[in-house]
């Protein structure tokens, strides 16, 4: 089968969710300031990189003009440090007037005019993590109304400088307040990260009823060590985390750091592959103005994105940890397909890993596989076919696996799906 046909087959993955108008039925995609730009407020000496309206306009321009929007990257998200040090005379949050002279409503219009959505940051506490005005319990309603009046589409609600009791009250209250505005806003909660991330401290049933996504664990840093720590924590606790995820309710292992300074090309591919298999939000934090072509190719890989955006919304799992320091991850997908990631934790040299689909719990049958990063098609597979994969140190091989019968019936399905696919394509991203 030709790679183009395989890519078209993968396009069918994204059809189902386009029929539903609910928020975040697939993981959100976009860009966020924090990991790359932190709390840089020095616009006098570093005007290109400080937290200002110019930075977010620049990123919106790049997302609209460089192919990101067409792939589904739609949220431009502000993080901490956008605020003035004081609320205004009516008790409302306000942007720093020197760094955001046009105000947030004007910035939202700029972003909306480019077909994108604006995300904003607030903190359930007396102050944000960096010391700007927090959202105490008595300010939740006014802040939700303020965000809605500005045209905000997404709220990241942090939890610095608050107690567990205040969080227990505040996170549900903010959900209620956002709904009461009448403006659809995605709601990202940092609540679990402040409670250790696991039951019994975290009630994921309640969390899924009030939040669209949530941070479970530590902030990601720009390093392979940080990325590995997050992978370890999510994998070691997958029995608690995986059942909590699904359409409209996502575990969030934090931002994509691809294109910064801490990852090699192989490590960048590993993050993209694992975030896709974990059904994680694809929220980049990098400088889109200077992104190199290798990082862009990883982040804009249409098949990896399609796997991440699979409409079943089932979070993947780690299947195996081998003594060779090779790990295998698996995610079930629509149309009885699946994704496999073979991850190397080695640091020495490429490793030849021997396995078969039967060893990875696949039933008898005939299969084909599409290598997501090399674009090679592996044909003639059955469950017992001996496979040998070369995996680079700290790198990953990612396969989209489907039964051969699905490939044979593709053209029959294509005829009946074509009209609905083009309708979906008009209002939503696809992998074509």
Specify the CATH number for the domain of residue 274: 3.20.20.70
pLDDT at 15: 34
Is residue 9 domain-resident? Answer: no
At residue 185, the pLDDT reads 97
Closest CA to 344 of 320, 374, 361, 368: 320
Question: 396 and 38 in contact (C-beta within 8 Å)?
Answer: no
- Distance (Å) of CA 212 to CA 196, 208, 293: 19, 7, 32
69: Cβ contacts below 8 Å, ≥ 6 apart: 63, 114, 115, 116, 429
Q: What is the pLDDT of residue 404?
A: 84
d(C-alpha 281, C-alpha 251), whole Å: 8
Domain extent, residue 104, equals 21-308
In a domain, 321, yes or no: no
How many domains does the chain divide into? 1
Which helix (H) or strand (E) segment is 53 a member of? helix 53-65
Q: Is residue 225 one of the residues assigned to a domain?
A: yes
Tokens 């009885």, located at residue: 336
For residue 411, the Cα-to-chain-centroid distance in whole angstroms is: 32
Does the residue 425 lie in any domain? no
| Closest to 337 measured CA to CA, from 301, 362, 359, 374 | 362
Please tell me the pTM assigned to this model.
0.91
DSSP 219: P
Q: What is the C-alpha to C-alpha distance for residues 118 and 103, in angstroms, rounded to an integer?
A: 13
Q: Does residue 280 lie in a domain region?
A: yes
Cα 25 to the chain's mean position, in Å? Answer: 12
Active-site residues, by number, are 158, 219
pLDDT value of residue 11:
44
Instruction: Name residues whose C-beta falls within 8 Å of residue 38's C-beta, 6 or more positions apart in sequence.
Output: 81
Whether cis (ω within 30° of 0) applies to the bond prior to 200 is yes
In a domain, 14, yes or no: no
Residue 157, phi then psi, degrees to nearest 5: -110, 105
CB 328 within 8 A of CB 401: no
The pLDDT value given to residue 405:
67
- Ranges of the chain whose pLDDT falls below 70: 1-21, 405-432
Q: Is residue 65 part of a domain?
A: yes
User: Which of 16, 24, 13 is CA-nearest to residue 117?
Assistant: 24
pLDDT of residue 381: 97
Separation between Cα atoms, residue 74 and residue 66, nearest integer Å: 12
3-class SS letters over 301-345:
CHHHHHHHCCCCCCCCEEEEECCCCEEEEEEECHHHCEEEEEEEC
Integer-rounded Cα Rg, in Å, for the chain is 22
**Number of neighbours of residue 230 by Cβ within 10 angstroms:** 21
Structural domain contains residue 140: yes
Return d(Cα 232, Cα 345) in angstroms, integer: 11
Distance CA 351, CA 204 (A): 38
Q: β-strands 154-158, 338-344: how paired?
A: unpaired
Q: How far is CA 397 from CA 65, 155, 255, 317, in A?
A: 30, 34, 21, 16
């Amino acid at each position: 089968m030709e790679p183009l046909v395989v890519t078209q087959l993968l396009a069918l993955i994204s059809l189902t969710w386009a029929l539903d108008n609910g928020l975040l039925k697939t993981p959100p995609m976009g860009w966020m300031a924090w990991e790359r730009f932190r709390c840089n407020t020095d616009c006098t000496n570093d005007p290109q990189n400080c937290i200002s309206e110019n930075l977010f306009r620049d990123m919106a321009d790049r997302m609209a003009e460089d192919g990101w929007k067409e792939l589904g990257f739609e949220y431009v998200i502000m993080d901490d440090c956008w605020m003035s040090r004081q609320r205004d005379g009516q008790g409302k949050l306000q942007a720093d007037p020197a760094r955001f002279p046009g105000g947030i409503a004007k910035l939202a219009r700029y972003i909306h005019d480019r077909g994108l959505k604006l995300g904003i940051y607030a903190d359930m506490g007396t102050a944000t993590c960096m010391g700007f005005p927090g959202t105490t319990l008595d300010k939740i309603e006014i802040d939700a109304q303020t965000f809605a009046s500005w045209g905000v589409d997404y709220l990241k609600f942090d939890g610095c400088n608050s107690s567990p009791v205040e969080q227990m009250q505040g996170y549900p209250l903010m959900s209620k307040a956002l709904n009461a505005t009448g403006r659809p806003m995605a709601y990202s909660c940092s609540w679990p990260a402040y409670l250790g991330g696991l039951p019994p401290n975290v009630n994921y049933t309640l969390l899924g009823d009030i939040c669209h996504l949530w941070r479970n664990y530590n902030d990601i840093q720009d390093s392979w060590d940080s990325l590995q720590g997050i992978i370890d924590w999510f994998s070691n606790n997958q029995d608690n985390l995986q059942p909590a995820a699904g359409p409209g309710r996502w575990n969030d292992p934090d931002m994509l750091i691809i294109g910064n300074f801490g990852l090699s090309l192989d490590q960048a591919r590993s993050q993209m592959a694992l975030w896709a298999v974990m059904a994680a939000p694809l929220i980049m934090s990098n400088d889109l103005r200077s992104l190199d072509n290798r990082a862009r190719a990883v982040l804009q890989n249409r098949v990896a994105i399609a796997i991440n955006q699979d409409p079943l919304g089932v979070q993947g799992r780690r299947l195996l940890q081998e003594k060779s320091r090779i790990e295998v991850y698996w995610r079930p997908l629509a149309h009885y397909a699946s994704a496999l990631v073979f991850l190397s934790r080695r640091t020495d040299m490429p490793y030849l890993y021997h396995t078969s689909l039967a060893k990875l719990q696949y039933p008898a049958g005939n299969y084909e596989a599409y290598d997501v990063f090399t674009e090679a098609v592996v044909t003639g597979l059955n469950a017992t076919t001996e496979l040998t994969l070369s995996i680079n140190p700290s790198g990953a091989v990612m396969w989209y696996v489907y039964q051969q019968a699905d490939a044979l019936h593709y053209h029959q399905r294509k005829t009946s799906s074509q009209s609905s696919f083009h309708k979906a394509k008009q209002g939503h991203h696809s992998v074509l």
